[in-house]
Every structure is written in C-alpha cells, then in structure tokens.
Copies of this chain bind each other. A is one copy, B any other.
Amino acid sequence: MTVHESAYVDRDARVDDTITVGEGTKIWQFATVLQGTVLGKDCNVGACAVLTGAVFGDRCKISSGVVMGPGFQIGNDVFIGPNVVLANDLYPFTDKSYFDEEALRSGEKWCVIIEDGVGIGANTVILPGTRVRRGALVAAGSVCSGVVAENRIYRRSGTATIRESAALEKRMRYVRTDYSTAEGS
C-alpha cells in the first residue's frame, strides 16, 4: 500500500495493501478501496463508495454509493455523482467464463475511459466500451455507451445531443417560492 502521508483514510473505511493513494486524497467512512485501485492527488471518495481496481487521476470526486470494479481509466478533475456504476460486463450473468479479468487488472485493456474534466450525473450507468471525452457531461439517470464527444452532453435514452456543455449556463437552480403561497404550499 502506498498511501501518501497527507492522505486521510477514515477509521471506518476498508482498504488493503495493494492500493495507491495520492497526496491530500480523502477516503471516507464505510468506503471500500481495494485490489490495486489507484487514486491520484486530492481525490475524494465518498461514504459507501466501492472501488476495486479503477485508476483515477488527480482531483477526482467519487461520490457516495459509486461502484467501480477493474477496467476503468479515469482522468483528472472528473466528477462521478452519487450511486453511479461503471460496468465492465455487458452481459452480467454469474457465468464469467469469457470474462478476462487479468486483461483489465494489468491495464492491457480498458472497459471505460473517462477523460479529463468530465462530469457524470447521479445514478448513471456507464456500459463497457464507452469513452467519454474531455469536458463532456453525462446527464443523471443515463445508461451511457459509445463515444461521447468533447464538451457534449449525453442524455438518457441513448442519444447524444449537440448542445455544447461549454455553453451551459452554470448557475444555481433554486425552487421558485414566489408563487408558493398562492397555490397553497
């Protein structure tokens, strides 16, 4: 285990001696980080996340409830929302006779590549074979496959839109309260 001295591993997290944890990275309570997982600098692993072999760059935010096995290469500054799953098996049966875990653990092959600066919305599933290019956004609740082009948004129902995420109005969205009394909240 190579855990940088400035990293934080909660007393109620489960880790093993095969992982790499960079400077300033935090692993919170009830999180699991095992089996060769690599976390760069200043990453954050939320409560109840389960990581068993993915490779992350720096400044990634892995939210609570994320599940990721081996076969995933994640760039820098990637946000992975709550309860997101990255899948390495398109036909998830208990029969794994065709499944080449060694190819995934050795880094010879990748099931999913997420490039720098990507955002993945909550409860999304990323299927094997997917590449999400720089700055793209995968909307919440999606089942995502194929190649998502740079700075684009991928929405659920399998279609990629042409709206550029660089043009998004990044602002807070609040509940309107001006009409609430009239309608009797």
Please give the residue numbers on chain A whose beta carbons come within 8 Å of chain B beta carbons, in ascending order: 12, 14, 28-30, 32, 46-48, 50, 59-61, 63-65, 67, 77-79, 81-83, 85, 87, 90-95, 98-100, 103, 109-113, 115, 117-125, 127-131, 133, 137, 139-143, 156-157, 165, 168, 170-177, 180, 183, 185
CA distance A40 to B174 in the complex (A): 23
With A65-B83, A156-B143 known as contacts, the answer to whether A119 contacts B98 (CB < 8 A) is no
B110 in contact with A127 (CB, 8 Å): no
| Minimum CB–CB distance for A73 against chain B, Å | 8
CA distance A120 to B115 in the complex (A): 28
List the B residue with the shortest CB-CB distance to A139.
B143
B87 in contact with A85 (CB, 8 Å): no
CA distance A120 to B125 in the complex (A): 13
B48 in contact with A173 (CB, 8 Å): no
List the B residue with the shortest CB-CB distance to A118.
B93
A50 touches which one: B61, B65, B119 (CB < 8 A)? Answer: B65
